[in-house]
Amino acid sequence: MTVAAKTELSKQYIDPRVKRTRKLLEQAFIELLDDKSFQDLTIQDITDRATVNRATFYAHFEDKYDMLDSFICQQFNEVLADKAPPAPIDSLERLQLIIVTVMEYIGHIHKHCVRSDQPVGPMFESAVQEELMKYLLDCFALTPPSLIPRGVSPQTAAKVWSWAVFGTAMQWAQAEPRASAVETAQEISKVLTAGCAAE
């Protein structure tokens, strides 16, 4: 086996103890967010709850901001993979499923974290929008070119759609009372596909 092959194999294999420790840290982080704001949370709080030392924490994360970013990205991708795994966006129903999934995720996070911890907001927004853009690019790679407006690159389409879906979902999550997620997703999907219909 070549050195390159061994390196690739080692990347794919993660010691189960490392996975368990990371899971302990993430679980401690989630539990503590129920009691404290993110700003008040310390590395010591997390390591005490997870029953590991600080050196172990820093073996996994640079700081609590890195941990939050990792947690948001991982959780968001798990939700997408579970409810709307990457597939061709070849119908309004498929697009609406993606939008509703994003809306419900943002609504959940907004209720439990972001609303009560304003400094977290920009970090959350950046992480979710970036992950949504990557997800849409994966979907566009599977989607017939005729469903993307002529002359528009998949990268540009993914960027525009991710901001449109994310931005509208954020406003929806903050509204009191909230409109129906399904009805709002239907409206968003019609706006996003208007350019395709005009071709």
pLDDT tens figures, 121-172: 777 888 899 999 999 999 999 988 877 777 889 999 999 999 999 999 999 9
- Are both 36 and 85 inside the same structural domain? no
**Residue 38: which domain range?**
11-60
End-to-end CA distance of the chain: 52
Q: Is 74 in the same domain as 87?
A: yes
CATH number of the domain encompassing residue 82 = 1.10.357.10
CA distance 81 to 138: 12
Kindly state whether residue 2 falls inside one of the protein's structural domains.
Answer: no
What are the contacts of 133-138 at 24+ separation with CB within 8 A? 133/158, 133/159, 133/162, 134/158, 135/77, 135/80, 135/86, 136/89, 136/98, 136/161, 136/162, 138/86
Read off the pLDDT of residues 88-99 as tens digits, 9 standing for 90 and up: 999 999 999 999
Mean pLDDT, the chain, rounded, equals: 85
> Which residue do the tokens 């991982």 mark?
74
Structural domains counted in the chain: 2
The answer to whether position 1 is within a domain reads no
Is residue 67 over pLDDT 70?
A: yes
> pTM for the complete prediction?
0.79
Q: What distance in Å separates the CA atoms of residue 160 and residue 117, rounded to the nearest whole number? A: 27
Mean pLDDT along residues 95-107: 95
- Structural domain contains residue 107: yes
Please give the helix or strand (H or E) that residue 61 lies within, else none: none
Q: Is 5 a domain residue?
A: no
Q: Which helix (H) or strand (E) holds 13?
A: none
Domain presence at residue 167: yes
Contacts of 64 (CB under 8 A, 6+ apart): 38, 41, 42, 43, 46
Do 158 and 72 have their domain in common?
A: yes
Both 56 and 74 in a single domain?
Answer: no
pLDDT confidence of residue 12: 47
Same-domain status, 53 and 90: no
